[in-house]
A and B are shown apart, each in its own frame.
Chain A
Amino acid sequence: MSTARFRQSRPMQSVGRGSGEQRATEMSDANEKMRAEGLRLYFGKFAAIKGVTLPIVAEKVTAIIGPSGCGKSTFIRSLNRMHELVPGANIEGRVLLDGADIYAPGMDPVRLRRRVGMVFQKPNPFPTMSIRENVLAGLRLNRIPFGDAHDVAERVLKKVALWDEVKDVLDRSGASLSGGQQQRLCIARAIALEPEVLLMDEPCSALDPIATAKVEELIHELADRYTIAIVTHSMQQAARVSDYTAFFYLGELVEYSDTNSLFTKPNDSRTEDYITGRFG
């Protein structure tokens, strides 16, 4: 991959933890699954994101933190073009997925979303479908051939550590589960399509602490195989689950670095104020 494409200054240092195994000669750019470049996003005349350049490192968890209204949710939605559902949304700059601009004219947002999946704030299983059907929903609706329905459901539900809890009630409605189980079901539904990137928009904000812990553990495990970007308003959560953290404030990226450094020695005074609880 040409490094010229990424010659714009990369924000802060981004030394991955456990980078010892990485091929030392290769630029860490090669590990960028996605990258926003000079991204500006407007809703009508309102600028929600004001020029953000941010990498999403492959097979790592990138957390995006910041106070309400800082544009973190908008940003993550722009990574699979979900923000386009809002009328009047406008974008400038580029978002690269494996080096290709997802806003290029030839890029179909529908196909893009099969590669870049999303989990939302509120668990949203399809109420008319059973648990099994919820898991298979993406495959069925997109007419993607899969083998035996039961086998696929079992495999995916095991991945999200939900199998033991629901294996006897697969025909029950997805809405009959508890909030935390519903959220893990939604994660199962998203990863059943084997996306390359998984975006999570405050996936635990509607869950109790125990359910939150389970989902966080799951994020940790999924990071082995998936590239994950997670928006959270909980700094503790960012510290617990992520490898890299980006701090957004008023639509700007204030600071990005590996999670450890960001929380222990932030470079920007605004980051420090935020993580020490002086505002937000």
Chain B
Amino acid sequence: MAYLQRKAVDYLARGLCVTATVVAIIPLVSVLYYVARAGVGGLSWDFFTNLPAPVGETGGGMKNAIVGTLILVGLACSFGIPLGVLAGIYLSEFGDSKFGRAVRFAADVMSGVPSIAVGIFAYTLIVLSMRRFSALAGGFALGVLMLPTITRTTEELLRLVPATLREAALALGVPKWKVILRIVLVTAAPGIATGVMLAVARVAGETAPLLFTALGTRLWSTALDQPIGALSVQIYTYAVSGYDDWHRQASAAALVLVALVLVLNIGARITFRARGESR
């Protein structure tokens, strides 16, 4: 009796967990499925190698937007990653102060700020002072968006590195800065890389902060001080248009964007696993 009761409760609880997991996965899988099904038809070699066709004509591609997204993400990473990782190191190794707590709080608040607000910040700071929309402004907005995530994950992961490893290195007569760089940071690197990739993946698909910073363009441009195309902006523009051909291309662009993020993610995982998993 008691045995059957325990069994029954076990099955019930486990069943609930499994159900909840399945329900949670359904939207994820269906998004991927829908994007893939809708997008695959619009994919062709031209899509990757051609510029958008003039309005009214069918065909053309999104070469400019694909390259634009890569440039924007690259710009964002170029200052978002070092700044975020360094701030994370500060918080984890020296952050037990009033200032440290304030920075931590600010980072937490910042990660909740709507991305469009960050876009307005970049617009005010860079677009207005440069008097034009530019890749630089877009990259800046994305980088700012990455900062809190990278800072906090770096901090958390550095804190996970056992104190015994720091002790071991310090007892070998290694200066603290070298202990942090060569032991602590290296030990936490795989985790930090994953955190960074999540941040990159998140900003790669951002649209709102780019609308009035990078602006988007149908022309080929890689100049950092000029408006630049971006997949997310192009998807937005095409999806709200009235042309069937553009709708098809928007779907294809969405698929490319998802694939891009996936490739970045898997690539980073493989790169850093090779080193971290010699354990």
Q: Which residues of A come within 8 Å of B, CB atoms? A: 80, 82, 85, 87, 110-115, 117-118, 120, 122, 124-128, 130, 137-138, 141-142, 172-173, 175-176, 186, 189-190, 193
Complex Cα distance A80/B172, Å? 10
Instruction: For A82, give its contact among B170, B186, B189, B279 (CB under 8 Å).
Output: B170
Instruction: For A120, give its contact among B167, B174, B187 (CB under 8 Å).
Output: B167
24 A-B residue pairings within 8 Å (CB atoms):
A80-B171, A82-B170, A82-B171, A85-B167, A85-B170, A110-B173, A110-B174, A113-B171, A115-B173, A118-B167, A120-B164, A120-B168, A120-B171, A124-B165, A126-B187, A138-B173, A141-B172, A141-B174, A142-B173, A142-B174, A175-B279, A186-B168, A190-B171, A190-B172
B17 to chain A, nearest CB (A): 32
Of the stretches B45-53, B125-133, B175-183, the one at the interface is B175-183
Q: Which residues of B come within 8 Å of A, CB atoms? A: 96, 162, 164-175, 178, 182-183, 186-187, 189, 275-276, 278-279
For B171, what are the chain A residues with a Cβ–Cβ distance below 8 Å?
80, 82, 113, 117-118, 120, 190
Question: Shortest 10 CB-CB distances between A and B: which pairs?
Answer: A114-B173, A138-B172, A118-B171, A113-B173, A124-B164, A124-B168, A173-B278, A141-B174, A175-B279, A173-B279
Contact A138/B174 with A127-B279, A128-B186 known, Cβ cut-off 8 Å: yes
For A115, what are the chain B residues with a Cβ–Cβ distance below 8 Å?
173
Q: Are B175 and A110 in contact (CB under 8 A)?
A: yes
- If A115-B173, A137-B172, A190-B172 are given as contacts, then 20 extra A-B residue pairs at C-beta distance below 8 Å, sorted by A number, are A85-B170, A87-B96, A110-B173, A111-B173, A114-B172, A114-B173, A117-B172, A118-B167, A118-B171, A122-B164, A124-B162, A126-B165, A127-B187, A128-B183, A128-B276, A141-B172, A142-B173, A186-B168, A189-B172, A190-B171
Closest to A186 in B: B168
Instruction: For A128, give its contact among B173, B175, B187 (CB under 8 Å).
Output: B187
Complex Cα distance A130/B278, Å? 8
A144 to chain B, nearest CB (A): 10
Interface centre among A113, A128, A130, A186 (most CB of B within 10 A): A128
B168 to chain A, nearest CB (A): 4
For B175, what are the chain A residues with a Cβ–Cβ distance below 8 Å?
110
For A85, what are the chain B residues with a Cβ–Cβ distance below 8 Å?
166-167, 170
Closest to B190 in A: A128
Complex Cα distance A172/B279, Å? 8
Closest to A118 in B: B171
For B276, what are the chain A residues with a Cβ–Cβ distance below 8 Å?
128
Closest to A125 in B: B168
B197 to chain A, nearest CB (A): 19
Q: Are B278 and A126 in contact (CB under 8 A)?
A: no
For B189, what are the chain A residues with a Cβ–Cβ distance below 8 Å?
128
A145 to chain B, nearest CB (A): 15
For B168, what are the chain A residues with a Cβ–Cβ distance below 8 Å?
120, 124-126, 186, 189
B183 to chain A, nearest CB (A): 6
B165 to chain A, nearest CB (A): 6
For A125, what are the chain B residues with a Cβ–Cβ distance below 8 Å?
168
Complex Cα distance A87/B166, Å? 15
Closest to B172 in A: A138
For A175, what are the chain B residues with a Cβ–Cβ distance below 8 Å?
279
For B167, what are the chain A residues with a Cβ–Cβ distance below 8 Å?
82, 85, 118, 120, 124
A172 to chain B, nearest CB (A): 7
A248 to chain B, nearest CB (A): 21
B135 to chain A, nearest CB (A): 37
Q: Are B178 and A113 in contact (CB under 8 A)?
A: no
For A141, what are the chain B residues with a Cβ–Cβ distance below 8 Å?
169, 172, 174, 178, 182
Complex Cα distance A87/B97, Å? 12
Complex Cα distance A186/B169, Å? 11
Complex Cα distance A126/B166, Å? 10
A132 to chain B, nearest CB (A): 12
For B278, what are the chain A residues with a Cβ–Cβ distance below 8 Å?
128, 130, 172-173
For A189, what are the chain B residues with a Cβ–Cβ distance below 8 Å?
168, 172
Complex Cα distance A186/B171, Å? 11
Interface centre among A124, A137, A172, A193 (most CB of B within 10 A): A124
B133 to chain A, nearest CB (A): 44
Interface centre among B169, B186, B276 (most CB of A within 10 A): B169
For A130, what are the chain B residues with a Cβ–Cβ distance below 8 Å?
278
Closest to B276 in A: A128
For A190, what are the chain B residues with a Cβ–Cβ distance below 8 Å?
171-172
For B164, what are the chain A residues with a Cβ–Cβ distance below 8 Å?
120, 122, 124
Complex Cα distance A122/B164, Å? 8
For A142, what are the chain B residues with a Cβ–Cβ distance below 8 Å?
172-174
